[in-house]
Amino acid sequence: MMLDLQLIWAGLIATAVLLYVTLDGFDLGVGILFPFAKSKEERDVMMNTIAPVWDGNETWLVLGGGGLLAAFPLAYSVLMPALYLPVLLMLAGLILRGVAFEFRFRARNRGRKFWTQMFAGGSILTALAQGLILGGFIQGVTVADNRFAGGPFDWLTPYTLLVAAGIVVGYALLGGTWLMMKTSDNLHGDAKRWTLISAAGVAVLLAAVSVATLFVHPRIADRWGFDASAGLAVDWATLAPLLAIPVLGLAGLAVVFAMARKGSHRWPFVGAMVVFLSGYLGLAASFMPSIVPYDIDFRQAAAPDNALALMLVGTAAILPLILGYTGWVYWVFRGKMDADAGYHH
């Protein structure tokens, strides 16, 4: 039986992106919440909760981006020119927060305050840039003869700014629920408050983005059974099988609200993950099999099968090691973070 290498690689890259968004999302969220901490000691604990895992979480970004270049070079060659500027902003934010992560613990007084601001700023910049990338991807890029044919700022629209705001608040939700799981006492109470506020923001922005997305391109509305030209007339036969996706997201939000109010330690984080999974499934339902909306599908963009097969051999050898190591790190550093333990102690 012949393997469908194109589908396998599309699935691998999609999975890597999902893992990156959810895993790096919570440590970016911790950075976004950094300015709201009440003291240096609280910020130290917040940073220590992500210290063992934050750089490893970015492995999935490398796999997703590198995999796109190697497995779907046509898609990479179209999407990168379309999104160069927000991608550069994202990389600048990641570099800034990485440097700030190390320097903050070595700085004193004024220097520590500066690097605290840089860590928060780098986290916010990264989240905003990723939202602009996602928004630019959803609204589509101009393609002619399999090349990007648009302008350098096509990605900057009211819709992409709305998506960017949603990503920032969504990451704050992940960060707040992570801190509820990893901290105790006063910081746990603060994390509970941040979680509830972020969850309310996510509910509003998720609804706004969902409605706005139906008007971004007629193909999306059609995929979900709406006819935008007829005032969003509904084809229930098309919509009904997809309703499980938004219901899943609503269930995740309900878990976050209910469990956070009770002060639960783990369930709010699970609920937040479910919300992001729902959003990701919604994107998949809207675009598949397109990899460059709305002109190129993943089979058109794929590298030759012999190249995909060779890369799959290497990936099959390395991926279990990455998964095993990642799982081991999370297991070793499970539980609450003490104030007198952690990074550079």
Q: Which of the four pLDDT bands, split at 50, 70 and 90, describes residue 335?
A: confident
Residues 24-66 have pLDDT tens digits of: 999 999 999 999 998 888 898 999 999 888 888 888 998 899 9
On whether residue 122 sits in a domain, the answer given is yes
Identify the domain containing residue 236 by its residue range. 5-332
Q: How many domains does the chain have?
A: 1
Cβ partners under 8 Å of residue 189, min gap 6: none
pLDDT for 343 equals 54
Residue 340 pLDDT > 90: no
Taking each helix axis as running N to C, give the angle between helix 110-139 and helix 73-106, from 0 to 180 degrees, rounded to the nearest 10. Answer: 160
Task: Give the whole-number percent of the chain exceeding pLDDT 90.
Answer: 69
Written as six digits, the tokens of 46 are: 């917040």
| Angstrom distance (rounded) from CA 23 to CA 234 | 36
Instruction: Report pLDDT for 59.
Output: 87
Residue 343 domain flag:
no
Tell me the average pLDDT across 5-22: 94
**Residue 218 pLDDT:** 85
Kindly state the average pLDDT of the residues 64-84.
Answer: 94
Mean pLDDT, the chain, whole residue set: 91
Domain-embedded: residue 282: yes
Whether residue 278 lies inside any domain: the answer is yes
Query: Tokens 């790190």 sit at which residue?
Result: 329
In-domain check, residue 258: yes
Q: What's the pLDDT band for 341 if we cut at 50, 70, 90?
A: low
Q: How far apart are CA 35 and CA 118, in angstroms?
A: 11
The residues, ordered by sequence, that sit 6+ positions from 113 with a Cβ below 8 Å of its Cβ are: none
pLDDT of residue 1: 59
Paired tokens of 231:
């005032």
**Residue 126: pLDDT band with limits 50, 70, 90:** very high
Contact call for residues 260 and 177 (beta carbons, < 8 A)? yes
Predicted local confidence at residue 279, as pLDDT: 93
Is residue 338 one of the residues assigned to a domain?
A: no
- Gyration radius (Cα) of the chain, Å: 21
Answer whether residue 341 is part of any domain.
no
Q: Report helix, strand or coil for 190.
A: helix
| Domain membership flag for residue 83 | yes
| Predicted pLDDT at 174 | 96
